[in-house]
Amino acid sequence: VWTAGNIVEEQVAKIREQIGENGRAICGLSGGVDSAVAAAIVQKAIGDRLTCVFVNHGLLRQDEAEQVERDFVASTGAKLYVANEQERFLSALAGVTDPEEKRKIIGREFIRAFEAAEAAVLNDAAASGEKVGFLVQGTLYPDVVESGGGEGAANIKSHHNVGGLPEDLEFELVEPLRTLFKDEVRAVGAELGLPAEIVQRQPFPGPGLGIRIIGEVTEERLELLRSADAIARAELTAAGLDQEVWQMPVVLLADVRSVGVQGDGRTYGHPIVLRPVSSEDAMTADWSRLPYDLLARISNRITNEVDGVNRVVLDVTSKPPGTIEWE
């Protein structure tokens, strides 16, 4: 029978067998549910032979890095190393506008950042001639299917943790959630004692805001999107709708401008798209019918408080035919 307890037990045994008595692993935390649960399960299996690495790629939302450090470490006591790699990702993404290219670059740089962190984090292991051979990933079943790994599946998007991996990967992968759907992962996380702030978190894609800026990713555009996103999330939470909405991507159409008027003057700014969706497993989704007064508050605040944005639009497309993210 499927119970969270059984899954944990089964996976812990499997992980111990794969990694062995002396093997060491690192795990990339994205700040999301999946990687946190994957890390917690591996920590249960091999204890402090696991080191978690949080790569701050600069594509995070407001306060996200601080939140990961606080919530995750507090609940698991896991070893955490924070790699500040904003510069690496921004320069690799400079001039790039194609969505698949962005995803591949971000996937590749994630791995490079881990490789760079490996030496710094585990110099004790290096000193004793040991090697960190295992990389833990929170890959879920839908990621596998949508990246073309499922039977007969088409490649829709290269999820950074599946299709975007470089061919010369030097780690053996540990993927304890590979057969699970999101709701099952949440149940497993709760079973492992992770707090609601982590387990009930809305999904956030590994490539972060990099795939929510339609156009080139720049520091200035990231700043703008972070401000708009923080407002939208704060208002959704204040309205008590966090649990009802599966997730609400906030997207910046950086290459689109429209004319507006503010005060006495003409503006020529960018549109922000709100993409609230309801879903069971992200394989299909419907657009969420958010209350009009909530949408009005979000729109008013974003256009008033975020410089450079003069229009807020609502995405009313289900999946299919739209995907949840715009890229």
Nearer residue to ligand XMP within complex by CB, 46 or 106:
106
Contact flags string 255-294 toward ligand XMP, x per CB under 6 A = ---------------------------x------------
Contact flags string 191-230 toward ligand XMP, x per CB under 6 A = ------------x-xxx-----------------------
> Which residue type does 43 have?
Q
Of 128-136, 230-238, 268-276, 317-325, the segment contacting ligand XMP by CB under 6 A is 317-325
CA angle 157–158–163, rounded 5-degree value:
145
Q: Cα(265)–Cα(141) distance, rounded to whole angstroms? A: 51
Q: How far is the CB of 103 from ligand XMP (least distance, A)?
A: 6
Q: Does the annotation flag 189 for ligand binding?
A: no
Q: List, in sequence order, the alpha helices (H) in the chain.
A: 4-19, 33-46, 64-67, 73-76, 86-93, 99-121, 123-127, 141-146, 182-191, 196-199, 219-238, 292-305
Establish if 319 lies at the interface with ligand XMP (CB under 6 A).
yes
Q: Cα(62)–Cα(65) distance, rounded to whole angstroms? A: 8
Q: Does the annotation flag 31 for ligand binding?
A: yes
Q: Cα(299)–Cα(322) distance, rounded to whole angstroms? A: 22
Establish if 11 lies at the interface with ligand XMP (CB under 6 A).
no
Establish if 233 lies at the interface with ligand XMP (CB under 6 A).
no
Q: Does the annotation flag 35 for ligand binding?
A: yes
Q: Interface residues for ligand XMP in 137-196 (CB under 6 A)?
A: 146, 157, 159-161
- Residue 322: exposed, middle, or buried by beta-carbon count in 10 A (0-12, 13-18, 19+)? middle
Q: How far is the CB of 147 from ligand XMP (least distance, A)?
A: 9
- Residue 189: exposed, middle, or buried by beta-carbon count in 10 A (0-12, 13-18, 19+)? buried
Nearer residue to ligand XMP within complex by CB, 187 or 282:
282
| Cα–Cα nearest to 142, from 179, 189, 98, 192 | 179
Nearer residue to ligand XMP within complex by CB, 23 or 32:
32
Residue ranges that bind ligand XMP, judged by CB under 6 A? 146, 157, 159-161, 203, 205-207, 247, 282, 319, 323-325
